[in-house]
Structure 1
Amino acid sequence: MAHMSILLLVISSLLLASTNAHDFIKYGYNGANGADKWGSLSSDFSLCSQGKQQSPININKNTTNYDSNLKQAPRNYVLTKATLINNGINIVLKYDQGAGNLTLDGKIYALTQMIWHSPSEHTIDGQSFPVELQLIHRSSDNHIAVVAILYQYGSPDAFLLQIQDELEQLAKDKCTDEQEARVPVGVVQTRALERRTRKFFRYVGSLTAPPCTEDVAWIILGKVREMTKAQAASLKAPLSAEYQSNARPAQPINGRTVQLYDELHNVKKAPSSKSD
């Protein structure tokens, strides 16, 4: 019995340390457990209210710092199986095994999952967008790098077309406080998401949900992509009404510098046919 108690304690500690802390403490975006209350919901969430490098932020183009020393952060993704998850708060695509990687400042980060937020969490000059896709990467020493893609309404998004049927199935499945809803999606093609970008913003921030862990490297792609209104609605449909708007408000910049990479300032330019 003592061995079992120790095992349960270890498992609980590991889970609380993960980004899935909401499995134990229910957080929301409005009301008594809304984003402005996260820091008081648990001592494990204290950074949500006390941290000085919190995300998301509003990116003011006039105050970004063009950095000629910034390099491209190449992303090399591979075909692999994935699972679509409704955890009650977000729609997540989690990879069953290695899905490729991001190289940032010489360090390799493995792509582990992606999360959609509606509306966007990051804003540009105060402008919000209908959807933000966040690609979560982790290094072998457990550092986190996130690539964010902003979406406006327009043409269909090719990536979402791949998982359209699974999103419809997820909307039919029930998610409870005790159990996530999961739908296997098979092999997913991520090539459309790895296109090099001519412009991106970079800063140091945090996870945008409890426990709001800091020292996260953020890359916000400068190219705003498109999806249809129906596709945006399909990302909300599996969630309950209170979580269909699941964007944390912009957090104070607190003196941080937002770096700008802009290929147009560089002598060597990538072929336009392969760049955003």
Structure 2
Amino acid sequence: MRSARDLRIAVSALLLLLLLSAGVLAARAQHEIDDESEFSYIRGSENGPENWGKIKEEWVTCGTGRMQSPIDLSDRHAAQAPNLGYLNHSYLPVDASIVNRGHDIMVKFNGDAGSLWINGTAYHLKQVHWHSPSEHRVNGRRYSLELHMVHLSAENKTAVIGILYKIGRRDHFLHELESYLKRIADTKEKEEMVGMVDPWEARGDGEAYYRYMGSLTTPACDEGVIWTVIKRVTTISAHQLKLLTEAVHDGFEMNARPLQKVNGRDISFFCPGDHHERYYAAADQ
């Protein structure tokens, strides 16, 4: 009886040891997976922005595309386009969640958050996310942060509104999310429900904007994206910017793709009325 009991104890101890070893190996594997990134923003690195097009076959457009984003929006090359008219959009408060995607922070709308209409086509707002510093530049100037409001049409075509930020007064839209930013810091793919969110508060109040055809600014860098970058620069507090940059994974505190070549693309600029000088002045203050 004693030998059978000893055998059972020995077998149980062995099984426990195997389970513990498996747990340690699994934890190590998970840690390695969490530390690995398919792409980075570190110039000169193997998976840095200049090499995105070589990492995967489906990412080749990142390296070969002729209509890539972001670009420098130069007033010297932008053509006045009064025919574009005011932005035709309507946004609705809707349930949303905040997601740490590792390389950025995204607010995902879980319902009808409203639409942006361009040339008779409705582009439905799906999510917003941030890049620091700004990806687009205006007349060579780079700003502290850029918000992207991503819209999709029924045909899965993309239209993005870009909003630039400089350090100043706190941003009300981000202020409502600050507690959630702290909660999802350094937690890849963690999703927190935040309740009703009004995307109109993210939109800002600028009426003048640039318009051009470009691409997504992360792999696979798909082209055919309609870009609308608001001329008026809004503000964000230094504390809010720190919350955003500290929430992402190490190495993604700066998650802005370098400027891409314009390659002769048309850049249009809409400004209400004939007094566009005051919009230039307001944006540059």
**TM bucket by the smaller chain?**
0.7 to 0.9
Residue aligning to 1:188: 197
Q: Is the 8 A contact 2:87 2:207 kept in 1?
A: no
The 3 A distance-change label for structure 1 pair 128 and 212 is same
Partner of residue 213, structure 1: 222
2:120 aligned with 1:106: yes
In 2, Cα distance between equivalents of 1:197 and 1:103: 17
Q: Distance in 1 between matches of 2:49 and 2:95?
A: 33
Partners of 1:83 and 1:96 within 8 A in 2? yes
Q: C-alpha separation between the residues in 2 aligned to 1:253 and 1:124?
A: 13
AA matched with 1:50: T
Q: What's the CA shift for 1:61? A: 1.1
Aligned-pair distance for 1:126? 1.1
Match of 2:80 among 46, 60, 66: 66
Quick check: 1:29 aligned with 2:41?
yes
What amino acid is the match of 2:245?
A: K
| % identical aligned pairs | 32
Tell me the TM-score normalised to structure 1 length: 0.83
Does structure 2 conserve the Cα–Cα contact (< 8 Å) formed by 1:58 and 1:122? yes
Match for residue 184 of structure 2?
170
1:115 alignment partner in structure 2: 129
User: Within 5 A, what are the aligned runs for 1:119-138?
Assistant: 119-138=133-152
Q: With structure 2 as the length reference, what TM-score do the two structures score?
A: 0.81
The total of aligned residue pairs comes to 239
Q: Which amino acid aligns with 2:93?
A: L
Superposed CA offset, 1:167-196 (max 9, x none):
11111x522xxxx11111111122323455
Structure 1 moving runs of 4+ over 6 Å: none
Q: State the Cα distance separating 1:101 from its structure 2 match.
A: 0.7
Inter-partner Cα distance in structure 1 for 2:269 and 2:243:
33
Of 233, 243, 257 in structure 1, the residue corresponding to residue 242 of structure 2 is: 233
Measured in 1, the distance between the counterparts of 2:247 and 2:96 equals: 18
Q: Which moved more, 1:187-196 or 1:125-134?
A: 187-196
Structure 1 unmatched runs, 5+: 1-23, 267-276
Contact 1:80 1:97 in 2 (8 A): yes
Which of the residues 77, 89, 94 maps onto 2:91? 77
1:119 shift after superposition: 0.4
Q: Which of residues 35, 38, 51 in structure 1 aligns to 2:65?
A: 51
Which piece of structure 1 moves more, 159-168 or 131-140? 159-168
What SS class does the counterpart of residue 213 from structure 2 fall into? Answer: strand
Name the structure 1 match of 2:101: 87
Secondary structure in 2 aligned to 1:234? Answer: helix
2:266 is aligned with 1:253: no
Paired with 1:262 and 1:156, the residues of 2 have a C-alpha distance of 26
Q: Is the 8 A contact 2:206 2:230 kept in 1?
A: yes
Deviation at 1:207, TM superposition (A): 0.3
Structure number, greater radius of gyration: 2
Q: Are the aligned partners of 1:74 and 1:196 in contact in 2 as well (CA < 8 Å)? A: no
Q: For structure 2, which runs of at least 5 residues remain unmatched after alignment?
A: 1-35, 276-285
What amino acid sits opposite 2:120 in the alignment?
Answer: G
Report the alpha carbon displacement of residue 164 of structure 1 after superposing the two structures with TM: 1.0
Alignment RMSD, CA only? 1.7
Equivalent of residue 54 in structure 2, options 40, 56, 79: 40
2:86–2:272 contact (8 Å) kept in structure 1 = no
Q: 1:195 to 1:149 in 2, by over 3 A?
A: closer
CA contact (8 A) 1:77 1:194 kept: no
Counterpart position of 1:155: 169
Assess if the C-alpha contact under 8 Å between 2:204 and 2:234 holds in 1: no
